[in-house]
Amino acid sequence: MKRLLTGIRVIDFTWVGAGSFTTKLLADLGADVIKIETAARLDSLRIARPFKDRISGVNRSGYFADRNSSKRSITVNAKYEEGLGIVRRLIADADLVTNNFTPGVMEKMGLGYDSVREIRPDVVYASMSMQGITGPEKDYLGYGLIIGALTGVQHLTGLPDREPAGTGTNYPDHIPNPTHAAFAILAALRHRRRTGQGQFIDIAQTEPTLALLGPWLLNASLNGVIDERRGNTNPDMAPHGVYPCAGNDRWLAIAVANDAQWLALCEVLGIVPRDGWARTQDRLSDREAIDPEIAARTKDRDGRELVAALQAAGVSAGAVNDAGDVLRNDPQLQARGHWVQLNHPEMGPSIYNAPPFRFSDAESTPSAPAPLLGQHTREICEDLLGLDDGEVDRLIQAGVLA
């Protein structure tokens, strides 16, 4: 089947999480994403756990693999004049150039927007630094943890009487930043197709994450109220929490939105409804007494069977899955074909995430596993730049293509 971004070429300087995930989305949709790498300074995801068979190596990171499916990799050291020349020649035939470095890094390499625009006047150029290219903190360094802290996500995550806990993963790297960046890129590419004009896109990775905090920001703005951590509770629903099930560290989540759902929950669990808990407002006031009543009736029951019974009764419930459950025991993901197995050159058959969307008349699942470091160097140099084997060999020996 066709892929909707076939014909788009991306020269990709991104690394680590958010930037790599952004260009992965484009690559899975058919764009020719050429990842610019050098062994002199590896993408830190290449040496990030988990490793296949727990054996470390630049081509064995599962984290790197999932963020770089469908791409091609060329190793070229742009600190060499010949290396910079090769990159410039690749840019001359590209539609998009991406990076997520601190402001000024690309300029020091001679590959800032103004320089790139001289090579390709209609280029779309996406810069994804943590704080954008303007403002007093534009040069600050940071990862997903820091973005979560700066934006208020960290403050709201955890239990009321404990330190800010975070989300357990660098959430900004995985959802708000890459999806907002991909949207901006697609809009700029559409504008370019319609007008012939390129764009410089300045993405501050802190700002998409603020979209997660709409209600809390409004509460602070309109009411002067600074919300605090509240664990699994919800100010408008009760019960609303996570409860134990049979087995070691097995749990299910339950969210009751109205009084009818409360009565249905009571029937499934065998709770005798108390008059004092009939209304949501009453249950909100007495949630500390209600939660143990529910836990006492869930702790010896099979979680999946109980979820099925609650859902059949119209109560929102879901098992608390671990990574193994999500991968092997989730019938919904299996039915939708979410997991894609691709044969990686070094790791062998490996599982990849498919995008969370399906097209009626186009393919969107990953087309190839993540590339080995420099796997396509010779192919790119010969096919796109017209270099012969001897010239490629010379450049490799000289450390230019390394």
Q: Which of 99, 94, 98 is nearest to 120 (CA)?
A: 94
Annotated catalytic residue 173: yes
Task: Of 75, 60, 74, 122, give the one whose Cα is nearest residue 97.
Answer: 122
- The set of residues, in sequence order, having a beta carbon less than 8 Å from that of 370 and lying 6+ positions away, is 64, 65, 66, 67, 68, 69, 71, 344
How far apart (Å, rounded) are the C-alpha atoms in residues 257 and 267?
16
CA separation for the pair 369, 348 (Å, rounded):
10
8 Å CB contact between 9 and 31: yes
Residue 34: phi, psi to the nearest 5? -100, 110
Catalytic residue among 12, 28, 173, 291: 173
Closest CA to 35 of 92, 124, 98: 98
Determine the Cα–Cα distance for residues 266 and 73; give it in Å rounded to an integer: 57
- CA dihedral defined by 256, 259, 263, 268, rounded to 10 degrees? -10
Per the CB < 8 A criterion, the answer to whether 240 and 233 are in contact is yes
Confirm if 171 and 153 have CB atoms less than 8 A apart: yes
C-alpha radius of gyration, the chain, whole number: 25
Rounded to the nearest 5°, which phi and psi values hold at 243?
Answer: -130, 150
Q: Reduced to 3 states, what is the DSSP secondary structure of residue 306?
A: helix
Max distance between CA atoms of the chain, in angstroms, equals: 86
Q: What is the DSSP letter of 370?
A: P
CA-based nearest residue to 130, from 209, 58, 206: 206
Q: Name the H helices within 1-45.
A: 18-28
- Interstrand relation of 348-353 and 339-344 (parallel, antiparallel or unpaired): antiparallel
Lookup: tokens for 325: 């459950």
Q: Distance between CA atoms of 57 and 71, rounded to whole angstroms? A: 19
Q: Which residues are catalytic?
A: 173
